[in-house]
Amino acid sequence: MRRLALSGFLLLAACTTDGGDGPRRPPVEMPAPLAVVDPALVVGTWQCRDLNPYPGQPEQTVTSTYDADGSFTDRSRVAGPPPAGGAIDVVARGRWAVEGGRIVTREVRTEAHAAGGDPKLDEIAALSAEFLNSRPRHERDGAVDVLRLSPDELVLRPAEVEDPAIVRCLR
C-alpha cells in the first residue's frame, strides 16, 4: 500500500499526486483515522480497490498480504502504457509495522513483468520497477492512515498525501 507510492506509466502514477489543476479524486466521506491499530487484525490477505479513483482511471485490484513476521506482499495487474498496451504484473515486497493508527512500510522492492510475455512491454515494466527501486529509501517507504479496521474490512488512505486515494480492502 505504500505506493504512493507510488510517472511515465501506471506503476508510477500510483506514486504521484496532482499538485496543479489536473484531475481530482471524487470526495469520499470517511471517519477520522484510528488512534490505535491492532496488528493482529491486519495480518492476512486482503483484496483492495480505490473508492475514489481519478476520473477515467482503470479499475485495479491489489492483493495485499500482511504476514505476522512483519513482511508484506502486494500483487496487482495493471494496463500497460500506450502504445504498448497489454497487462503488467506488479509485485511489491517489504516490511510492515503498526505505529499508532498507521501501517508503515519499509524496505519496499518492486518487480514488474509483462503478463503475456511481450518482450518490449516486459522491458518497459522492468525499467519502471528499476526506477522505483532506485528512488531513495525514504521515498519508497510509506505510511497509511487506517480509517476503519474489522476482521473483514480495512479502509486506509496514504498519510500526508495531497488528494489521497481512499482504499477499501476486504477479506
Q: Per-residue pLDDT for 16 more than 50?
A: no
Helices (H), 53-141: 119-134, 137-140
153 falls within a domain? yes
Asked if residue 83 belongs to a domain, the reply is yes
Q: How would residue 107 be classed by pLDDT, with cut points 50, 70 and 90? A: very high
pLDDT-based confidence at 91, cuts 50/70/90?
very high
Burial status of residue 93 (CB atoms within 10 A of its CB: 0-12, 13-18, 19 or more): middle
Distance CA(27)–CA(56), nearest Å, equals 15
Segment 29-56 mean pLDDT: 95
Mean pLDDT of 23-36: 93
CA dist., res. 165 & res. 54, Å (int): 9
Question: According to the model, what pLDDT value does residue 20 have?
Answer: 57
What is the domain range of residue 100?
Answer: 10-16+33-170
Number of domains in the chain: 1
Do 107 and 92 form a contact (C-beta atoms < 8 A)? Answer: no
Instruction: Report yes or no on 27 lying in a domain.
Output: no
Per-residue pLDDT for 9 more than 70?
Answer: no
Location of C-alpha cell 507510492: 5
**Residue 71 counted as domain residue:** yes
pLDDT more than 90, % of the chain: 71
Mean pLDDT of 107-132: 94
Per-residue pLDDT band for 81 (boundaries 50, 70, 90) equals confident
> Domain for residue 151, yes or no?
yes
Dump pLDDT digits (tens) for 160-169: 999 999 999 9
**Count of other CB atoms within 10 angstroms of residue 166:** 19
Identify the CATH number of the domain in which residue 165 sits: 2.40.128.280
